[in-house]
């Protein structure tokens, strides 16, 4: 009887050790599968990196804390809602219930006109400003709005603005 109990105990120990070894092998295999994914970017304007980039939600919070006349240097990522269809001289980025109106430092570079819906990284100065009726109508015309939509603009608007020194657009793979 003691021999049977001893064999049973020994068998249990061997099985338990085997499962531990298999688990360790599975964990090692799972760790080996994790790999770093590298993203290539098209770069516009000054050279910037994809490091220390705020999310759209973090940027919305920054905008909420700005008053007219305040500026803050930031780098953030968001989806492009629209681009100037005349030259690519501005773009509007998704900010939840609002948009950030992005212009480019010294008018030194332009965006491709077909990037609406893509995520971008912008680096530069965020600020809030009052945009005149004249400018709003000009931007509406650049966006390809109808004359009826342009004529409906009659009030200045407080705008989430951004002056970008550099932009990164992930390359399609």
3-state helix, strand, coil in the chain (%, to 5): 35, 35, 30
pLDDT, one tens digit for every residue, the chain (173 residues): 555 544 444 454 545 555 444 445 555 444 545 555 678 999 999 999 999 999 999 999 999 999 988 999 999 999 999 999 989 999 999 999 999 999 999 999 999 999 999 999 999 999 999 888 898 888 888 778 889 988 998 888 888 999 999 999 998 76
CB 169 within 8 A of CB 41: yes
Residues 6 or more apart in contact with residue 157 via CB below 8 angstroms: 130, 131, 136
d(CA 95, CA 84): 18
């Amino acid at each position: 009887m003691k021999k049977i109990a001893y064999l049973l105990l020994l068998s249990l120990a061997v099985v338990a050790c085997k499962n531990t070894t298999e688990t360790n092998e599975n964990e090692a295999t799972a760790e080996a599968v994790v790999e770093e994914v590298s993203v290539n970017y098209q770069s516009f304007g000054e050279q910037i990196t994809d490091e220390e980039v705020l999310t759209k939600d973090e940027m919305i919070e920054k905008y909420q804390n700005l008053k007219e006349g305040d500026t803050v240097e930031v780098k953030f990522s968001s989806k492009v809602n629209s681009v100037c269809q005349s030259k690519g001289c501005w773009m509007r980025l998704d900010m939840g219930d609002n948009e950030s109106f992005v212009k480019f430092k010294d008018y030194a570079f332009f965006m491709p006109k077909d990037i609406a819906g893509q995520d971008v990284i912008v680096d530069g100065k965020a600020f809030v400003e009052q945009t005149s009726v004249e400018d709003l109508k000009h931007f509406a015309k650049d966006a390809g709005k109808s004359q009826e939509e342009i004529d409906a603009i009659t009030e200045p608007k407080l705008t989430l603005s951004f002056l970008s020194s550099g932009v990164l657009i992930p390359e399609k793979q």
